[in-house]
Amino acid sequence: MGDGHVKTYIDGFDDKMQGGIPPGSVVLLVGQPGTMKSSVAYNILFNNAKENDSRGLYVTLEQSSKSLSKHMTSMGMDPKDVQGMLEIVDIGLIRKKLTALQDQSWVQVFKMYTKNLKESSDYQLLVIDSLPVLNVLAKFANPREELFHLFEWLRDLNVTTILITEMTPDTAKFANNGEDFLADGIIYLRMAEIGDVSVQRQIRCVKMRSVNHNGDYHSLLFDKGHFKATKSIAQTR
């Protein structure tokens, strides 16, 4: 691991970022539906827990922890293999806490819960899946300002955070409320059309602060529980 950087465990991709993600960064993992964003993010937590004994917290606001665990197990990344090192928290659990703390807003409960877990388990890696859903649940009146405070709060947690965010197919923008400027890094996943009949899943490091990164597109392959990035030589349309 280069200079204590957090490896993505995507073979051939970490060396394009001088070893991985600088610790303490807040990184956007951006892509359209079906680009394996959740799987890529979970893979980072799973393999850092397995290979480096780094504790991780995966907050899923889009599906239940049971559903996510089942899906990742089918991909060869069984949460049982990293029990005690990787915790999956879903929206149902946060809603229960919200009911018990009725005087608190959703985002206050979310912050309280993640902070308490940081103090009790001392996780080093955090995934939030996803930022658009968090926006909706938090009912941000002024998203730009409140997201700025959220990003600062995440940095103060002293963890490396991956925020999954979705792009609609009809836009080239990575974010709607300035998150791309607030983030320390952006990793972009896309489905690229190759010629008239083929589609190729690709990954690109758009931005990574304090890292001399390679910004080229790479083909993203997944086989037997492992991700791999290879030079994208095919011509896209």
> Strands 185-194, 198-208: parallel, antiparallel or unpaired by DSSP?
antiparallel
> Three-state DSSP class for 161?
strand
Number of Cβ atoms within 10 Å of the Cβ of 27: 26
The answer to whether the beta carbons of residues 231 and 203 sit under 8 Å apart is: no
Q: Given this model, what pLDDT does residue 72 score?
A: 97
Going from the C-alpha of 92 to that of each of 97, 101, 106, the distances in angstroms are: 9, 14, 12
The answer to whether the beta carbons of residues 172 and 30 sit under 8 Å apart is: no
List, in sequence order, every residue forming a beta bridge with 126; answer none if it has no partner.
57, 161
Q: Given this model, what pLDDT does residue 14 score?
A: 96
Q: Is the dihedral of CA 112, 64, 73, 169 positive or negative?
A: negative
Residue 65 is which amino acid?
A: S
- Considering the segment(s) 23-188 as one domain, its CATH architecture is 3-Layer(aba) Sandwich (3.40)
Walk along the chain (237 residues) and give the pLDDT tens digit of each residue: 345 899 999 999 999 999 999 999 999 999 988 899 999 999 999 999 999 999 999 999 999 999 999 999 999 999 999 999 999 999 888 888 777 777 788 889 899 999 999 999 999 999 999 999 999 999 999 999 999 999 999 999 999 999 999 987 666 778 888 899 999 999 999 998 887 788 899 999 999 999 999 999 999 999 988 999 998 765 544
Q: Given this model, what pLDDT does residue 58 score?
A: 97
Q: State how far the Cα of 209 lies from the Cα of 203, in Å rounded to an integer.
A: 18
Question: What's the whole-model pTM score?
Answer: 0.93
Q: State how far the Cα of 32 lies from the Cα of 165, in Å rounded to an integer.
A: 9
Q: State how far the Cα of 135 lies from the Cα of 164, in Å rounded to an integer.
A: 12
Domain boundaries, the chain: 23-188
Q: Is the dihedral of CA 57, 66, 36, 130 positive or negative?
A: negative
> φ and ψ at 11, to 5 degrees?
-55, 130
> φ and ψ at 121, to 5 degrees?
-110, -15
Going from the C-alpha of 80 to that of each of 7, 54, 85, the distances in angstroms are: 21, 15, 10
